[in-house]
A and B are shown apart, each in its own frame.
Chain A
């Protein structure tokens, strides 16, 4: 056994480990769909058009949820604050339906209300 043979063997062993390892370590089963594959032009990794110009939320600009206190919407009548509400292109909930709130039960089963 010569030194050069041993040296070549050692290098081969190291390279072999590096070569075989990737295929051995990849989890079996199907690979992901096209979502993260750049061959698809736009995917889940899509970026929004640049520039959100936030601010200027006036006092009546309310975007949050309601609570369960028997609030009702204004079905088919538009918004009270609007001067001349026209008909909607969507179906408004019936006036008899109270406005729902968010779930109140905690994950452990208790209730926050």
Chain B
């Protein structure tokens, strides 16, 4: 076979062309690798565990106090946008066991966790805020709760930076969680606007409900005035009000018992209007509650209900109508 006889300049030109192509391909490869790293790294670098509820650590412990709340929502992006627009919350995104989680902050303090969970097609489920009560010993609390008729929805388990927790449904079906925080409990201070300030249980049996939670958290229970056929009880520990227990509204006897948490606001009427402007709904129109506290119940765009409580620094002269 005859070899092709090329002149020296041709050979040099061919070698240069080959070398240029090789260099170009190599650079393309390097660029592809850099692009891959730049694209994937931010996602993979997200923390793999939920953060503590108190930073820096505190030595405070307030058994029976609502110390955290978590929203379970089918649309995390919409929820983040809604609550950021409403209360000015900022977020830290976290990947937890394959689930998307956003820790919400206000003024540097953790105020809530938002968990993404899709609703399977064809199913009707109610997105909700889950209420976490401070507990000294989650396992012991769970055992007592079960003895008193509670149902275990999530067995006690540890989340390394957060603490040990369990999720339960009380004897009437209201869902709640108990948490022994590894970082201590938030201090007993008046929450700022945009932070959670109050919780109320709406239940079919306030008497049994009060007894149940009193057994778990050693609450002092104060009987409150109520309309005929209704019952309202105030729960306290450490000489602070922690929550109220209430009959279901008279015209809603079949409503599912549940805990409702309230965010402190400066102006309930304005904030209720803002809820609507941001895609939420008003479930209970703004109304005067005890001592001038103005309350509304609203729902976020996915339907998760929560309360707004205007709690002025001094008692208002307005009275319930």
Q: Which residues of A contact B (CB under 8 A)?
A: 1-3, 6-7, 9-11, 13-14, 16-18, 21-22, 24-27, 29-37, 40, 42-67, 69, 72-75, 77-83, 88-93, 97, 99-107, 112-113
Residues of B within 8 A of A83 (CB): 228
Asked if B12 lies at the interface with its beta carbon under 8 angstroms from chain A, I say no
A16–B155 Cα gap in the complex (Å)? 40
Q: Which residues of B contact A (CB under 8 A)?
A: 18, 21-22, 25-26, 28-30, 32-33, 36-37, 40-41, 44-45, 47-50, 70, 72, 96-99, 101, 115, 117, 119, 124-128, 130, 153-155, 157-160, 165, 167, 173, 175, 177, 187-190, 192, 197-198, 200, 202, 207-208, 210-211, 214, 220-234, 236, 239-241, 244, 246, 249-252, 254-256, 258, 260, 262, 283-284, 287, 289-291, 293, 295, 297, 299, 305, 309, 311, 313-315, 320-321
Residues of B within 8 A of A55 (CB): 249, 251-252, 283-284
A33–B224 Cα gap in the complex (Å)? 41
**Chain B interface secondary structure, helix, strand, loop or mixed?**
mixed
Tell me, rounded to whole Å, the shortest Cβ–Cβ distance linking B92 to chain A. Answer: 13
A-B contact count (CB 8 A): 313
Q: List 16 A-B contacts (CB under 8 A).
A: A31-B48, A44-B115, A47-B72, A47-B117, A52-B258, A56-B249, A56-B252, A60-B227, A63-B202, A67-B291, A72-B222, A73-B223, A82-B229, A99-B234, A100-B240, A107-B192
Residues of A within 8 A of B207 (CB): 88-90
- Say yes or no: B97 contacts A56, CB within 8 Å: no
A82–B228 Cα gap in the complex (Å)? 5
Given contacts A27-B47, A64-B309, A79-B223, is CB(A6)–CB(B22) below 8 Å?
yes
Task: Return the 5 tightest CB-CB contacts between A and B, nearest first.
Answer: A10-B29, A73-B222, A25-B44, A56-B251, A54-B283
Q: Which residue of A lies closest to B238 (CB)?
A: A100
A79–B221 Cα gap in the complex (Å)? 13
- Say yes or no: B48 contacts A79, CB within 8 Å: no
**B40 in complex: contacting residue of A1, A22, A42, A91, CB < 8 Å:** A22
Residues of A within 8 A of B197 (CB): 102
**Chain A interface secondary structure, helix, strand, loop or mixed?**
loop
- Say yes or no: A57 contacts B128, CB within 8 Å: no
- Say yes or no: A10 contacts B28, CB within 8 Å: yes
Residues of B within 8 A of A34 (CB): 154-155, 157
Residues of A within 8 A of B315 (CB): 67, 69
- Say yes or no: B36 contacts A48, CB within 8 Å: no
A18–B34 Cα gap in the complex (Å)? 10
- Say yes or no: A102 contacts B72, CB within 8 Å: no
**A61 in complex: contacting residue of B25, B227, B256, CB < 8 Å:** B227
Given contacts A66-B241, A66-B291, A67-B315, is CB(A21)–CB(B117) below 8 Å?
no
Q: Which of A21, A47, A72 is the most central at the interface, judged by chain B CB atoms within 10 Å of its CB?
A: A47
- Say yes or no: B252 contacts A46, CB within 8 Å: no
Residues of A within 8 A of B241 (CB): 65-66, 99-102
